[in-house]
């Protein structure tokens, strides 16, 4: 297993965001330098701003804000999918961190990253991205960076420049806390931060994953939720059932060539029933806010 389904969906969600950002900036640049003053016919609308250059400038700002907001939404989606059944977050400590975060994207992403051992500079930059989004998009927000993140970023300027195409983070944390407009370089770099964050988390999640437990939970859930799958599973003999499971794990969980012991475990329907019972949720104890 090289990627979680969560990362595959994240990549589909964010896609070639930096390429699309560049395309948008190029289009606006050439629009400003042209004599175009009306919308093309196929749009079936009018475009005749009183302040043409001002409108183009504000459009640049809106495009950058939109791309960064989309990147934060992608991180939120990604970490949420990690905790959706069948869960990639199997350790109790990971679950407690996730549960304590509530609906906060910042807590979910940064605290989970700390628990997994993600590069602290990447986590600090992720904090910048989410804090900037909150302050820029939500008019009443006054979010601050987590303690120590500004110092960490300033102490690692050379590393950041080397890994983010020359980005100078001087003043970036202050912009995040004020929700100020970002440069193109800062915007593109923070989109890259979202991608690097997910890449690092995914690798650590997979390295910690008990694949047999994960596969069993997945098959048990399919048996419960998908009558057609359950009927076919029950009707097949061992070898054919294992082949069915192998194809299903590949197609649904991006889990190619599962180990023989995993297939054997997943093909034992009586064991699946016992595991299914063991996987039933237990009442949660009180969780202390981190």
pTM, two decimals, is 0.88
DSSP-assigned letter for residue 102: T
- What are the φ/ψ torsions at residue 222 (nearest 5 degrees)? -65, -40
Q: Is residue 44 part of a domain?
A: no
Tokens read off for 118: 């993600």
Report pLDDT digits (tens) over 104-160: 999 999 999 999 999 999 999 999 999 999 999 876 678 899 999 999 999 999 999
Residue 76 shares a structural domain with residue 196: yes
Q: How many domains does the chain have?
A: 2
Taking only the tens place, the pLDDT of each residue in 246-280 is: 999 999 999 999 999 999 999 986 665 655 565 56
- 101 and 242, same domain (yes or no): no
Report the mean per-residue pLDDT for the chain.
91
Residue 201 has pLDDT above 70, yes or no: yes
**pLDDT tens profile 168-195:** 999 999 999 999 999 999 999 999 999 9
How large is the average pLDDT for residues 217-228?
A: 91
Spatial distance between the Cα atoms of 126 and 21, rounded to a whole number of angstroms: 19
Residues 149 and 95 in one domain: yes
| pLDDT > 90 in the chain, percent | 80
Last residue of a domain, one of 174, 208, 242: 208
Given 208, 224, 256, which residue is the final one in a domain? 208
Confidence band, pLDDT 50/70/90 cuts, at residue 83: very high
In a domain, residue 286? The reply is no
Looking at residue 289, what is its pLDDT? 40
**pLDDT average, residue stretch 210-233:** 92
Contacts of residue 96, Cβ cutoff 8 Å, sequence gap at least 6: 287
How far, in Å, are 84, 170, 264 from residue 146 at the CA level? 27, 17, 47
pLDDT above 60 (res 10): yes
- Which pLDDT tens digit goes with each residue over 90-112? 999 998 888 888 889 999 999 99
Q: Is residue 288 part of a domain?
A: no
Cα(58)–Cα(122) distance, rounded to whole angstroms? 30
Q: Is the pLDDT of residue 54 over 70?
A: yes
What range does the domain containing 239 cover?
211-278
176 within 8 A of 146, measured Cβ to Cβ:
no
Tokens representing 121? Answer: 């500079």
- Tell me: do 189 and 96 sit in the same domain: yes
The most confident of 14-18, 201-205, 227-231, by mean pLDDT? 201-205
pLDDT score, position 288: 42
Of 208, 239, 258, the one marking the end of a domain is: 208
C-alpha separations of 261 from 65, 74, 181, 267, 268 in Å: 48, 35, 54, 10, 11
């Amino acid at each position: 297993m090289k990627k979680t389904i969560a990362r595959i969906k994240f990549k589909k969600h964010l896609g070639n965001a930096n390429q699309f950002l560049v395309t948008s900036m190029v289009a606006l640049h050439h629009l400003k330098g042209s004599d175009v003053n009306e919308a093309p016919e196929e749009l079936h609308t009018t475009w005749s701003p009183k302040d043409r250059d001002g409108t183009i400038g504000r459009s640049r700002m809106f495009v950058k804000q939109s791309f960064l907001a989309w990147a934060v939404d992608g991180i939120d989606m990604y970490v949420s999918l990690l905790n959706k059944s069948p869960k990639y977050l199997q350790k109790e400590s990971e679950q407690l961190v996730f549960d304590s975060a509530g609906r906060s994207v910042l807590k979910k992403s940064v605290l989970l990253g700390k628990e997994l051992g993600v590069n602290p500079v990447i986590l600090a930059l992720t904090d910048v991205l989410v804090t900037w989004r909150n302050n820029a998009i939500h008019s009443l927000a006054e979010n601050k960076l987590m303690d120590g993140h500004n110092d960490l970023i300033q102490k690692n300027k050379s590393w950041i420049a080397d890994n983010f195409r020359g980005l100078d983070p001087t003043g970036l944390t202050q912009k995040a806390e004020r929700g100020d407009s970002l440069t193109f370089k800062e915007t593109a770099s923070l989109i890259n931060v979202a991608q690097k964050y997910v890449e690092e988390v995914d690798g650590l999640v997979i390295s910690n994953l008990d694949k047999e437990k994960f596969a069993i939970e997945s098959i048990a859930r399919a048996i419960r939720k998908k009558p057609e799958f359950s009927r076919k599973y029950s009707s097949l003999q061992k070898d054919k059932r294992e082949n069915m499971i192998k194809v299903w794990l590949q197609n649904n969980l991006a889990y190619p060539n599962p180990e023989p012991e995993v297939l054997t475990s997943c093909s034992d329907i009586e064991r699946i029933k016992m595991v299914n019972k063991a996987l039933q949720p237990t009442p949660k104890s009180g969780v202390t806010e981190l």
